[in-house]
Amino acid sequence: MEFEELPIERRNRRAGSAVRIGYRRIIQLLVFFVLVPSALLLAVGIVLMVLRGAPYSLLFGILIVSFVSVLVTGSVLMLVFLRRAANLSQLQADFVSKVSHELRTPLTAIRLLAETMQRPATADEVRAECLTALSQEADRLTLRIERLLDWGRMEAGRKLYELREERLADVVNDAVAAFSPARNLLPNEFSVEIADAVGSVMVDRLAIIDAVVNLLSNGRKYGGSPLVLKLRVYVQKEHAVIEVTDNGAGIARSEHRRIFEKFYRIDDRLSRAREGSGLGLAIVRHVVLAHRGRVGVDSAPGRGSTFRMILPHRGGRS
């Protein structure tokens, strides 16, 4: 379906290109006013050091070369910081367009469903189906807005985690129940394996459910066709491990760290074709770190991916 671009998206696209233009202009200014004079000064410094004609020329030469080195180091550092700031602004601009698109999709569906229901000719059965679909779309919308609000709280440091002793198997089973595509997946497409020894852990139930659902949704989104998605929970030394494996296209090693950064999405055909805001894995990481655990990914192009949430565990008590 073709969507007409919203003013906010247009504005963000313009903001993104403004950032890029600003960054290019700064590089040009640096080259003209810092790097070119520095190169000339460096040449003078070297000539002074080599010729040593006048008294103190060696000292002047060394001073000039040191000054130029400091100047060039400072400029390079400034460029690195500016590059980071420009990248972040670009990511934020992209993020706002992606989010508005993500919110617009269920909204468009709701509008179409409501219009169908309003038509007098609509049969009662169709109306009932529309009603079910309406409630599903409204849930989808609520979930997305809640995720954004949750992320806002995490960023502002206002997200409170209430750690309680919970049976990990129950928490993971709740996550499976909340992972709505699970209902439509066949047993050979989606399997769950929970070791008896996992027992209880200190967790914020809802946050862990959210994180597991994020990993499962990614497995579903980026998995292969036909899909093979596995959820495993087991104990390894003093840790409880929640592991989600898919048979998708996999992720290059160079991206393993970046995919956990906020707003970051791999710029490939698969990611571009899927809806997403680049927040899912950042949320998973935030949740796991708040539990004093760590996240990990094992993946290579063409070999699928395994994501792990590794949580502290006190010996698998039941």
Span interacting with ligand ADP, options 144-152, 162-170, 225-233, 277-285, rule CB under 6 A: 277-285
> What end-to-end distance do the CA atoms of the chain give, in Å?
51
Site string for ligand ADP, 284-313 (x = CB under 6 A): ---------------------x--------
Rounded Cα distance between 190 and 217, Å, is 12
Q: Tell me which of 12, 200, 218, 247 binds ligand ADP, using CB under 6 A.
A: 218
- Shortest CB 150 distance to ligand ADP, Å: 14
Is residue 280 involved in binding ligand ADP (CB under 6 A)? yes
By CB under 6 A, how many residues form the interface with ligand ADP? Answer: 19
Q: Tell me which of 16, 45, 248, 293 binds ligand ADP, using CB under 6 A.
A: 248
Question: Judged by CB, which is closer to ligand ADP: 276, or 296?
Answer: 276
Q: Which 29-48 residues touch ligand ADP, going by CB under 6 A?
A: none
Is residue 97 involved in binding ligand ADP (CB under 6 A)? no
Q: Tell me which of 282, 288, 295, 309 binds ligand ADP, using CB under 6 A.
A: 282
- Shortest CB 143 distance to ligand ADP, Å: 13
Is residue 266 involved in binding ligand ADP (CB under 6 A)? yes
User: Omega before 312 cis (within 30°)?
Assistant: no
Q: Specify the long-range contacts of residues 277-280, CB closer than 8 Å, at least 24 apart.
A: 277/95, 277/98, 277/99, 277/102, 277/148, 278/91, 278/94, 278/95, 278/98, 279/95, 279/147, 279/148, 279/151, 280/214, 280/215, 280/217, 280/218
Q: Are 204 and 288 in contact (CB under 8 A)?
A: no
Site string for ligand ADP, 164-203 (x = CB under 6 A): ----------------------------------------
Span interacting with ligand ADP, options 116-124, 141-149, 170-178, 269-277, rule CB under 6 A: 269-277
Span interacting with ligand ADP, options 32-40, 77-85, 173-181, 260-268, rule CB under 6 A: 260-268
Question: Judged by CB, which is closer to ligand ADP: 183, or 269?
Answer: 269
Q: Tell me which of 19, 251, 309, 310 binds ligand ADP, using CB under 6 A.
A: 251
Question: Judged by CB, which is closer to ligand ADP: 159, or 265?
Answer: 265
Question: Judged by CB, which is closer to ligand ADP: 97, or 277?
Answer: 277
Question: Judged by CB, which is closer to ligand ADP: 179, or 264?
Answer: 264
Is residue 279 involved in binding ligand ADP (CB under 6 A)? yes
Please report, as ranges, the residues that interact with ligand ADP according to CB under 6 A.
218-219, 222, 246, 248, 251, 259, 264-266, 271, 276-282, 305
